[in-house]
Amino acid sequence: MGELILEMKNITKTFGSVIANQDVCLKVYAKEIHALLGENGAGKSTLMNVLTGIYRPDSGQIFCHGKEVSVNSPKDAVDLGIGMVHQHFRLIPTLTVAENISLYTEKKGFLLNPAKMQKRIAECSRSFNLEVDPAAVVWQLSVGEQQRVEIVKLLYHGAEILILDEPSAVLTPQEAQDMFNVLRKMADSGKAVIVISHKMNEVLNNADRITVLKDGRMEDTMVRKDATLDRLTRAVVGKQDYKEHFRTQKNISPDVVFSMEHVCAKNDRNLDELKDISFDIRRGEIFGIAGVAGNGQRELSEVIAGLRPVTSGKIMADGADLTCASARERREKGIALIPEDRLETGLVPDLNFSENIILTRYSSSRYSRKGFLRFDRMRRDAEDYTKEYEIRHGGFDLPVGLMSGGNQQKLLLAREVSGNPKLIVAAYPVRGLDIGAADMIRQILLQQSEKGTSVLFISEELDEIFHMCDRIGVLCDGELMGIRNTSETDVFEIGQMMAGERKNSEKEASSYA
């Protein structure tokens, strides 16, 4: 551990009436990897945005090398040697790698000299053992490569303090390990590295010191040798016990509810995304899709729900061919979708509670008569859902955008479940939720499967997939790497498949045995 390089004292930041950070203190030393751990919404990103000058704190002080500094703009942060790799990369997709880095680091010179620029950047990246092609246009790079560009960008500029916001979220387990190795090298060379994370195992394995945030406050801070999974869990979730669900009750029948045969589909950029996907789901089964986000999960869920056309292949539900059926026809056939971006797709944030519960069934006889909406029923169902699913909200007439993520998801799930679907496609249903809400969402899905509903469960958290699912399919680069019975595989094997190893061994579980 080196010298104290950065200290944040009693930082408070509010957004309107929401307190994002309250009296948070943080000390960071040179040559360390410092993990900032906490659930989504615990205030980790806000704290770092304060440090990088994106937000102004309501009160509090920041010291750099023992001197008090004021970080009023991102420029101040850059000048202080503070650099951040955001979760959403701050890269310009239409510019080259070299241009992106030059934009960030070199402010002088009127004319551009691409050749010189690229040469210098290549030298820099080589000296840190980070391979990037300076002439490549950013939007053509993979997510992992873009992350590397972000890191090179900071190093090239001579950043002393590197902040990474959830850096492993977009990577395979193997890629993530590579990245932490790189970070370790950075720390060894004298830099301070701050990693924001909500994954306890990752933090335990890679950090030197750990600070835990909860509800905007600093809950605990410790060096690694004092950290245990238990202590971290307690700090992260508070008194609540971390419940684990293993499937206790199963109600799986042999008949196939849904199947895909050799399905191919394109993505928004009109490139082939899904390649030759085949699987089937039995009644009452929970079928998991594991894989790093962005490997075709969105396209897969959209193809099933009828929001994206297939280029070839066949989709069947209950023996009927649905390949060309519209979104509405599929919904009527009992396919419900919990989309991954609930606020952009699954709900309309500006509309109120009652208006959102009819979103997917507004034309059904339940909610409309001769084209007129039945407000009494909407209101009654809104009240029922609120009670049954313990949804907390400020009133039925307020926009649902004001509700918390957990309550939004409960509303969405309540609505989709109430249509008695045969198959629920749940894409990252607990992403970004607090543990209580996540628990409840999983519980609802489990209950549904016990009732005989099938679930396609898409997630990037392997723990969760192993707890929830009967079979696991692994998506990598738009291809299904293989399907396993949960009881006959382990995290290691699934991790290898996520990294692109195809495993068509005898263990292949083409159907539930």
H or E segment at 417? helix 405-418
Locate tokens 């010179």: which residue? Answer: 109
Q: How far apart are CA 177 and CA 364, in angstroms?
A: 50
Least separation in angstroms between residue 216's CB and other proteins is 14
Interior angle at CA 335, CA 455 and CA 512, nearest 5: 35
For residue 71, the minimal CB distance to other proteins (Å) is 8
| CB-neighbour burial class of residue 239 (10 A; exposed 0-12, middle 13-18, buried 19+) | exposed
Query: Least distance (Å) from other proteins to the CB of residue 345?
Result: 5
Partners of 67 in beta bridges: 64
Q: Which is nearer to other proteins, 17 or 248 (CB)?
A: 17
C-alpha torsion angle, residues 139, 141, 145, 151 (rounded to 10):
-30
Question: Smaller CB distance to other proteins: residue 98 or 263?
Answer: 98
Cα–Cα distance, 450 to 252 (Å, whole number): 8
Q: What minimum distance in Å lies between the beta carbon of 304 and other proteins? A: 12
Residue closer to other proteins by CB (options 107, 387) is 107
Q: Which is nearer to other proteins, 90 or 250 (CB)?
A: 90
In the complex, minimum distance from the CB of residue 55 to other proteins, in angstroms, rounded to a whole number: 6
Cβ closest to other proteins, residue 289 vs residue 335: 335
CB of 224 to other proteins, least distance (A): 30
With a CB cutoff of 8 Å and minimum separation 6, the contacts of 142 are: none
Residue placing its CB nearer to other proteins in the complex, 103 or 169: 103
Cβ nearer to other proteins, comparing 100 with 454: 100
Least distance to other proteins from the beta carbon of 281, Å?
21
Q: Which residue has the tokens 């040179």?
A: 30
Cβ contacts of 232-237, under 8 Å, gap ≥ 24? 232/37, 232/200, 232/203, 232/204, 233/200, 235/37, 236/37, 236/38, 236/39, 236/42, 236/198, 236/200, 236/212, 237/39, 237/435
For 425, the token pair is 């496609």
| Residue pointed to by tokens 């997630």 | 459
Residue holding tokens 């307020």?
398
In the complex, what is the shortest distance from the CB of residue 372 to other proteins, in angstroms, rounded to a whole number? Answer: 6
Residue ranges that bind other proteins, judged by CB under 8 A: 15-17, 52, 54-59, 70, 72-75, 78-79, 84, 86, 90-95, 99, 102-104, 106-107, 109-112, 266, 268-270, 305-307, 326-328, 331, 337, 339, 344-351, 355, 358-360, 362-363, 368, 371-373
- Residue among 39 and 280 whose Cβ is closer to other proteins: 39
DSSP-derived 3-state class of residue 163: strand
Give the containing element (helix H, strand E) for 314: strand 312-317
CB of 351 to other proteins, least distance (A): 6
Residues in the chain: 513
* 340 versus 464: smaller Cβ distance to other proteins: 340
Amino acid found at 314 = K
State how far the Cα of 196 lies from the Cα of 189, in Å rounded to an integer: 21
What is the rounded CA–CA span in Å between residue 154 and residue 169? 20
What would the DSSP string read from start to end of 233-252?
Answer: HHHHHTTS------------
Pick the closer one to other proteins by CB: 80 or 176: 80
Task: Report the candidate in 251, 247, 257 with the shortest Cα–Cα distance to residue 279.
Answer: 257
Tokens of residue 158, six digits: 């001579």
Contact 21, 46 (CB under 8 A): yes
In the complex, minimum distance from the CB of residue 302 to other proteins, in angstroms, rounded to a whole number: 9
Which residue's CB is nearer to other proteins, number 421 or number 473? 421
Distances in whole angstroms, Cα of residue 75 to Cα of each of 53, 62, 81, 82, 104: 8, 16, 10, 10, 10
User: Is residue 417 within 8 Å of residue 448, measured between CB atoms?
Assistant: yes
Q: Cβ of residue 64: shortest distance to other proteins, in angstroms? A: 15
